[in-house]
Structure 1
Amino acid sequence: MNFLLNTKKAIILIPSLFCVCLLFAQTEEVFLVTDFDGGGILPSTWESFGDLGLYGVQRNNSLSDGKYYELAWNGTSDKGYIVSQSGITFRLIPKKKLKGKTIDNVFLRLDVNCGGAPGTVVNIVLVDGPNDCCKNEVNWQYTFTKETCEWETLEINLADFGYAYDPNNHEKTIDFTKVGRVKIGINPEQGPKKQVVQFDNVQLVVKEEVTAQGYQPNIAIPESTTLKTVAKDFFVGVAVNPERVSAADHSSVYTREFNSITAENAMKMKSIFKGLDENKKIIYDWTQADAIVDFAENNGMNLHGHALVWHESIPDVLENFKGTNAQFEAIIEQYITTVVVRYKGKVDSWDVVNEAIADKTSKMRESLFSERMGQNYVAKCFEFARKADNKVKLFYNDYGLEHDVQKQKGAFELIDGLKNKNLIDGVGYQMHLDYNFPSKATLQTATNLAVDRGLLIHFSELDIKTNPKGDVNELTEQRNQAQAKKVYEVVSVYNNIPENLKYALTVWGLKDDESWITPRYGFPDWPLLFDANFKRKEAFSGFVQALE
């Protein structure tokens, strides 16, 4: 199995014939892979594998005349699939056409429908490297769900294709100069029992210049223009800790630029929960949390509480707890109730549970909480918090919701259950991104999942890695500008959210040298809006420009 993640059965189409056909537009060059009417680099013959119906038929109510191709899966096959072995090294786009271009300039475009089977989960895979099947080729996957069965044109930036063995591994990037094949298939392990995908007019598109619309580099932002003054209808937040809120150099920037704060670690369980007495009553230390709450109150700032329950912030006494599961659950209820009640009227919102969905799946993460409280522990925690304060806003918070389709599926199934019980108010998309991933379109699609449910949206932990591969030792001008463009895109997407669903956009730290990223990954990075000397970076300008 060499290109579909976490699936043992799949259905694919692989183009296998080659010629050259170019189409031109004013600002782009189009390389037609096939239109299934005899035109294109791979004009008609595609190889199929798996249990499917495959046929070309006349279009009906489509975007253009002619034939399209269809794959159908009826939910009965346990078969795997076989990858063709062409032994041919071939580029669908001549290398000379990509001179001076980056991956941001190259897109896959196709017409797609789901043939009366809404919810079909479609995998599109691009292959770079020598096309000799399983030995040297590298497969890059993009997965999406076709919810509405009507024809639409889908355009995907190649930067959004993840390494197919692990779509969350964005340290690897497709070699856009070597794309030689396109594979289109259904993912039977997701979506409904019956799935259909219809597609046509498969193209690779090279755009002459791709920039964030409206973003202008090296624009001087007046000192009087601050983040909170340009954000008219949502809070702009920053992650803080007790030491920094008490330091004049930090606190002056916090109060000048931001109107919301989140405790980076000071309000997590491990910072507050310090032990159990002989009656299994919790011993609390409020020192750090109180410092954050006092700073917010003294400066009239919104305060987002982070986080009541997280699998990576468990006190040792709970890790080693020998009591029954019922006793463990009672302790968690006691903790959530006490913390929420203590800060009632002072904390405006809480991340009740943080990162409950496992990576690369739609399943619950295995943790001490799921082990001792059951798979429904998340709902229980939200019930405890809602009962303690029925006015505070309650959020589920996670990373990867911006792009990981599998995690989105699991998270929003969880969220839907909470919403049906009136236990949740909003979703936190953490937004730990790379300077070149994901695309604005992917961010918009992800955000729409919460918009469609009428939930408040918090971009809760924004930072943009400029050195995800560890390949530079200083912040280059190119990466500096690319980061600013990505910040612009993120803020633009947030600003497009309906006003009544905007909550806050929070940056995960103030200065580059204080970010969690360098200690975690072991090489330098510059992921925030201010440099080590408190100087506004180009990323700051990208944020402001997106709102002006």
Structure 2
Amino acid sequence: MRTAPLHTRPLTRLVLGLTAVPLLVGSAVLPASAAPALKDNRPPGAERIVNTETLRWNAPRDFHIGTAVAGGGHHVDQPYPDPFFNDEEYRYVLAKEFNSLSPENQAKWEFIHPEQDVYNFEAMDAIAKFAKRNRQEVRGHTLFWHSQNPAWLEQGNFSKEELRAILKDHIQTVVGRYKGQVYQWDVANEIFTDGPNPVLRTGPTAQGGNIWLRELGPEIIADAFRWAHEADPEATLMFNDYGVENINPKSTAYYNLIQELLAQGVPVDGFAIQGHLSTRFGFPGGLQENLQRFSDLGLETAITEIDVRMDVPVGQQPTAEQETRQASDYDRALEACLAVEGCNSFTVWGATDKYSWVPVFFSGEGFATVMTDDFDRKPAYFQMRDSLAQAKQDRR
């Protein structure tokens, strides 16, 4: 008898506990830093979530409904401990609601490769282990980016040959470690500038330049994809960016570049749209058409970092009208993805406002996720869940 994929089977048991995992330093394995012991008990409020009412239960069997796992980056400076290791109810929601997890910052260079000869795998290993125990899959983010690079890299005095070797080692070490555990990798992230005439980010770091493009030239993009493919031939390798929801100069720059790379036999498998939206602006009505043109190239597509931020005065809550608009934007984006063959990954960039990046980086805006600080589900959550359930029914 054929069994259902792991992420669609009933969740009869959620495993929330993890043991500390090692910190790999060069070729030696040293004891991990003291990560809090994670408990297996059901957290307060767990009874609010019923299996058949969750996003993952209602998703089609071939569809990844995911979230970013909060940690690293700006969270280090917030007045709370690491969310993933310390918040039981948060972990419970991650396991119950989603069948795909993305490290928000835990696989970015500054976190996972903090010194030249040091790889810190503790948090990423924990996410991978948690996902396996809870029958989830993992998206990898990200291998080649202009931001959140460690000082040793950006301020180092490296030759071109040394930089090339550093990048190859990083990609093959990280991708190789999670071979078979990560189904998609954002290989090249945000490589084009904004504006009406986007170009590759070859400028100074302080102006948003990409060290790899500046020092090694555009040919290094193809090398990055080849190295990742060598490390894990089964992983889907993608470009990822913001501001590319519609057919516009920036998304067209990717469209043209990808065609060139495919003609050269470079293993580019997909194009991912982040989807950081705001109710200040209209919904990107060309989203489905844009996803479709990349699909027509034979690529997988994905929406990887969606949130919908709102203008709410300090100390106040969103109005019903604002939440209705937010719900519409989330659902229209989901519907666009569901309508395109090969768009089988949709990731909200944070499950709860409690740990959202938006208020930290967008003054006066917030409430951007599908759950409140207390994990109450918003209208956006329910509207998406209904659309997933309908798609599940339609695909039977």
Please tell me the TM-score bracket, short chain as reference: 0.7 to 0.9
Pick one of 80, 94, 112 that aligns with 1:272: 112
Q: CA deviation at 1:491?
A: 1.2
Say which structure is richer in helix: 2
Q: Residues 455-534 of structure 1 correspond to what in structure 2 (within 5 A)? A: 455-467=299-311, 473-498=316-341, 501-534=342-375
Tell me whether 1:255 sits opposite 2:106 in the alignment. Answer: no
Would the aligned equivalents of 2:309 and 2:365 in 1 still touch at CA under 8 Å? no
Q: Secondary structure at the match of 2:214?
A: helix
Q: Secondary structure at the match of 1:475?
A: coil
Which residue number corresponds to residue 58 of structure 2?
Answer: 230
Deviations 1:417-439 (A, max 9, x none): 23331411111100111236443
Pick one of 238, 249, 252 that aligns with 1:395: 238
Which residue number corresponds to residue 377 of structure 2?
Answer: 536
* Alpha-carbon distance in 2 for matches of 1:283, 1:355: 25
* Alpha-carbon distance in 2 for matches of 1:356, 1:438: 25
Which residue number corresponds to residue 240 of structure 1?
Answer: 69
Which residue number corresponds to residue 191 of structure 2?
Answer: 356
Q: CA deviation at 1:380?
A: 1.6
Pick one of 449, 470, 473 that aligns with 2:293: 449
Which residue number corresponds to residue 369 of structure 1?
Answer: 212
Gaps of 5+ in 1: 1-220, 277-281
Q: CA deviation at 1:473?
A: 4.2
Amino acid at match of 1:343: Y
Deviations 1:463-484 (A, max 9, x none): 011229x799431111011111
Q: Secondary structure at the match of 1:535?
A: coil
* Alpha-carbon distance in 1 for matches of 2:315, 2:270: 38
Pick one of 212, 219, 227 that aligns with 1:384: 227
Q: CA deviation at 1:540?
A: 0.6
* Alpha-carbon distance in 2 for matches of 1:255, 1:223: 11
Q: CA deviation at 1:524?
A: 4.0
Q: Secondary structure at the match of 1:400?
A: coil
* Alpha-carbon distance in 2 for matches of 1:536, 1:223: 14
Q: Residues 156-305 of structure 1 correspond to what in structure 2 (within 5 A)? A: 224-232=52-60, 233-241=62-70, 243-246=82-85, 247-276=87-116, 282-305=117-140
* Alpha-carbon distance in 2 for matches of 1:460, 1:400: 13
* Alpha-carbon distance in 2 for matches of 1:462, 1:261: 13
Q: Residues 325-344 of structure 1 correspond to what in structure 2 (within 5 A)? A: 325-344=160-179
Size of the aligned set, in residue pairs, is 320
Amino acid at match of 2:199: K
* Alpha-carbon distance in 2 for matches of 1:472, 1:365: 39
TM-score normalised per structure 2? 0.76
Compute the RMSD of aligned alpha carbons. 2.0
Q: CA deviation at 1:322?
A: 1.0
Deviations 1:109-131 (A, max 9, x none): xxxxxxxxxxxxxxxxxxxxxxx
Amino acid at match of 2:304: S
* Alpha-carbon distance in 2 for matches of 1:274, 1:546: 41
TM-score normalised per structure 1? 0.56
Would the aligned equivalents of 2:354 and 2:374 in 1 still touch at CA under 8 Å? no
* Alpha-carbon distance in 2 for matches of 1:404, 1:270: 32
Q: CA deviation at 1:241?
A: 3.3
Q: Secondary structure at the match of 2:307?
A: strand
Q: CA deviation at 1:245?
A: 3.3
Q: CA deviation at 1:545?
A: 2.5
Would the aligned equivalents of 1:261 and 1:304 in 2 still touch at CA under 8 Å? yes
* Alpha-carbon distance in 2 for matches of 1:438, 1:231: 27
Would the aligned equivalents of 2:198 and 2:249 in 1 still touch at CA under 8 Å? yes
Q: CA deviation at 1:452?
A: 1.6
Deviations 1:131-168 (A, max 9, x none): xxxxxxxxxxxxxxxxxxxxxxxxxxxxxxxxxxxxxx
* Alpha-carbon distance in 2 for matches of 1:287, 1:314: 18
Q: CA deviation at 1:292?
A: 1.4
Q: CA deviation at 1:404?
A: 6.0
Q: Percent identity?
A: 30
Would the aligned equivalents of 1:271 and 1:288 in 2 still touch at CA under 8 Å? no
* Alpha-carbon distance in 2 for matches of 1:461, 1:352: 15
Tell me whether 1:425 sits opposite 2:269 in the alignment. Answer: yes
- Return the index of the structure with the highest Cα Rg: 1
Would the aligned equivalents of 2:51 and 2:57 in 1 still touch at CA under 8 Å? no
Q: Secondary structure at the match of 1:534?
A: coil
